[in-house]
Amino acid sequence: MGTKTKAKPFDEMTLDEGGVRNAYAAYAQWLEETSTERLTRKHEQADIMFRRLGITFTVYGRDEGTERLIPFDVIPRILDASEWDILSRGVIQRVDALNAFMHDIYHDQDILHAGKVPAELVLTNVAYQPQMLGHDVARRVYAHVAGVDVVRVGEREFYVLEDNVRTPSGVSYMLEDRQTMMRLFPELFANHAIQPVDRYPDELLRNLQSVAPLGIDEPTVVLMTPGVFNSAYFEHAFLATEMGIELVEGQDLFVGEDGVYMRTTEGPQRVHVIYRRVDDDFIDPLAFRGESSLGVAGLLAAVRKGWVTLANAIGTGVADDKAMYVYVPEMIRFYMGEEPILNNVPTYSLRLDDDRAYVLDNLKDLVVKEVHGSGGYGMLVGPASTAKEREKFARLIKTMPENYIAQPTLALSTCPTFVDSGIAPRHVDLRPFVLSGEKTTVMPGGLTRVALEEGSLVVNSSQGGGTKDTWVLRE
C-alpha cells in the first residue's frame, strides 16, 4: 500500500536535508527576520478581529448555542504554481466525473449496467433519491459547489479524503482568512505574487445564475439557510451579503400555482435559483422528513416541474458517501476516459468478510469512519486511540459493518504553525472549492485546516482544529 506512517511526515516548508521549498523561500526569510513578540501581537489582533466580526462557529453537543472562534493561524500555507496545477486539475476532474455519475444514476444507469459500481450500493443508499429519476437538471450539473478534501503525503503525492458535494462549508473562512492576513501583514502581499480569491462570491453568483430554469433572463437567486442557530450561519449571511441576494429560511418561501415565491414586504416575489444550505432530509416536509420546519412544502414537486433550480441538487449525497468514494477512480475512467490525477486512499469496506477480518485485527493502525458521518464525529483514529475506544469500535463494526469503512492512517503533511511553544509543525489538509455551471472552475486557494494539537491528525473545526490562509503563487 505504500502509505505506512513514515518517521517524519512531509513538511510543506522545510526540506528533510535542510533549507526550505521554493514556495516558501521569501516567506521563510521574512519569518526569520520577524520577532516572536510581533507574531504574538499579530496573533492576538487576529483573535480580536474575528471575535468582533462574529466569525464564530456553533459546536454541537455542547451547551446549546455555544459560540466559539475557529482558531486562526498567522502562518500561511503556500503552494507554488506547479503544485496547484496538479491539485486544480485533479479536483476539477473529480467533480466533473461525480456530476456525470449523478446524471447517470438518475437516468440510464450505464455505470451500474456495466458493473463498474455495485447497483445495490447506489439504489439502496439512504442518500439516493428516487424522486430525482428521469428529472433533467439545468446543464446536467448536480454539485454546483463542491469542497474536495485533499491531503498531501509527499512532493507530488496528493490523496483525496472526501468529496463534499452536499452543502460543503468553509469558503467564508477562506475569504476572511485572506482579508485578515492582508490587514495583518500587508508587506507580505507586496513581495509575493499571490493569486487572489476574493472574486469567489461573484463567480458563485454567476454560476448560480447560469443554472436558472430555461427562459429566465434575470433570475432571482436566494440563499436558503436553516437559520441563525446553524453552525455555519455566519457563512450563509456572509455569502448572501457578498452576492447581494436575499438570505431566506424555509418559512420565507412557499410554492404557489406557477412557481416558488418568497414573502416580501411588497408581496410575493418569484424565486428561480435556491442556493440551499439545508440538507435533503429537511428541505421539503412533504417529500422527506414530515416534522421538519426548516423546509418548504412542495419544493421537490416545484423542482420536478422545472420552476426552480436547487443548488446543490437533491440527491447528491449518494455521490459523496464514504462507501461510494471507493468507486470514484472508476467513475473517472468510465465517464472521462482518463486516469485519476489525485489518489484515492485505499479503503476497506467492512461489509466484505476479508476486509472486516483484517480491519478488526489492525484497528491500532487504521482510521475508522462512519459511512454517513461528517465533521469528524463518530471516527476512530487508531494510532491515537485507547484500548477502550478500539473495543467500542470493534463492537460497532460487528453490529453494523455496512455503516463503517476503514483506511490506513496517512502521514498528513505538516506545516509550520504558531502555537504556545513557538513555531512548530502541525498536520494540515486542504479544501479547495470547485464551482460547476457553464464550466467547472476552482478558486486558486482553499481552506487549509490545521490540527493544533501536537501529532493530532484530526483537523475538523468541531474537534478543535484551526485554519490558515492558503496562498497559491503565480508562476
434 DSSP β-pair partners: 146, 442
Give whichever of 123 and 228 is closer to other proteins, judged by the CB atom. 228
- Cell, residue 317: 449525497
Shortest distance (Å) from residue 22 CB to other proteins: 37
Give whichever of 51 and 392 is closer to other proteins, judged by the CB atom. 51
Which of 439, 343, 377 lies closest to 149, judged by CA? 343
Pair 442, 88: CB distance under 8 Å: yes
Give whichever of 51 and 113 is closer to other proteins, judged by the CB atom. 51
Q: How far apart are CA 436 and CA 92, in angstroms?
A: 9
Contacting residue, 25, 36, 38, 54, with other proteins by CB under 8 A:
54
Cis (ω within 30 of 0) for the bond into 191?
Answer: no
Interacting residues of 170 by C-beta distance below 8 A, sequence separation 6+: 147, 235, 431, 433, 447, 449
Give the helix ranges, DSSP H, for 12-105.
25-33, 36-53, 81-105
Give whichever of 220 and 440 is closer to other proteins, judged by the CB atom. 220
Shortest distance (Å) from residue 249 CB to other proteins: 7
Give the helix ranges, DSSP H, for 16-62.
25-33, 36-53
Give whichever of 52 and 388 is closer to other proteins, judged by the CB atom. 52
Give whichever of 9 and 227 is closer to other proteins, judged by the CB atom. 227
Taking residues 80 to 99 in sequence order and writing x for each that binds other proteins by CB under 8 A, - otherwise, the string is: --------------------
Give whichever of 37 and 229 is closer to other proteins, judged by the CB atom. 229
Give whichever of 36 and 269 is closer to other proteins, judged by the CB atom. 269
Which of 151, 175, 149 lies closest to 375, judged by CA? 149
Give whichever of 276 and 427 is closer to other proteins, judged by the CB atom. 276
Shortest distance (Å) from residue 26 CB to other proteins: 32
286 near other proteins, judged by CB under 8 A = no
- Cell, residue 415: 506545516
Candidate segments 46-54, 144-152, 360-368, 369-377, binder of other proteins by CB under 8 A:
46-54
Candidate segments 49-57, 150-158, 213-221, 465-473, binder of other proteins by CB under 8 A:
49-57
Shortest distance (Å) from residue 74 CB to other proteins: 21
Contacting residue, 52, 61, 64, 190, with other proteins by CB under 8 A:
52
Shortest distance (Å) from residue 222 CB to other proteins: 9
Which of 156, 13, 136 lies closest to 89, judged by CA? 156
Site for other proteins in 424-463 (CB under 8 A): none
Give the helix ranges, DSSP H, for 165-306.
171-184, 186-190, 200-209, 233-243, 280-283, 299-304
- Cell, residue 311: 443548488
Taking residues 228 to 267 in sequence order and writing x for each that binds other proteins by CB under 8 A, - otherwise, the string is: x----x---xx-xx----xxxx-xx---------xxxxxx
Give whichever of 237 and 423 is closer to other proteins, judged by the CB atom. 237
Q: How far apart are CA 16 and CA 217, in angstroms?
A: 57
Shortest distance (Å) from residue 252 CB to other proteins: 5
Pair 106, 84: CB distance under 8 Å: no
What is residue 404's three-state secondary structure? strand
Give whichever of 213 and 268 is closer to other proteins, judged by the CB atom. 268
Site for other proteins in 363-422 (CB under 8 A): none
Pair 307, 161: CB distance under 8 Å: no
Shortest distance (Å) from residue 343 CB to other proteins: 40
Which of 220, 241, 229 lies closest to 293, judged by CA? 229
The 3-state DSSP composition of the chain as helix, strand, coil percent (nearest 5) reads 35, 25, 40
Shortest distance (Å) from residue 426 CB to other proteins: 29
Side chain identity, residue 437: G
Give the helix ranges, DSSP H, for 214-352.
233-243, 280-283, 299-304, 322-325, 328-331
Shortest distance (Å) from residue 267 CB to other proteins: 8
Shortest distance (Å) from residue 198 CB to other proteins: 15
Give whichever of 171 and 188 is closer to other proteins, judged by the CB atom. 171
Q: How far apart are CA 175 and CA 134, in angstroms?
A: 38
Shortest distance (Å) from residue 246 CB to other proteins: 6
The cell 464551482 sits on which residue? 435
Shortest distance (Å) from residue 433 CB to other proteins: 20
The cell 503556500 sits on which residue? 78
# binding residues, other proteins (CB under 8 A) = 23
- Cell, residue 423: 513555531
Which residues in this chain contact other proteins in the complex, by CB under 8 A?
Answer: 51-54, 227-228, 233, 237-238, 240-241, 246-249, 251-252, 262-267
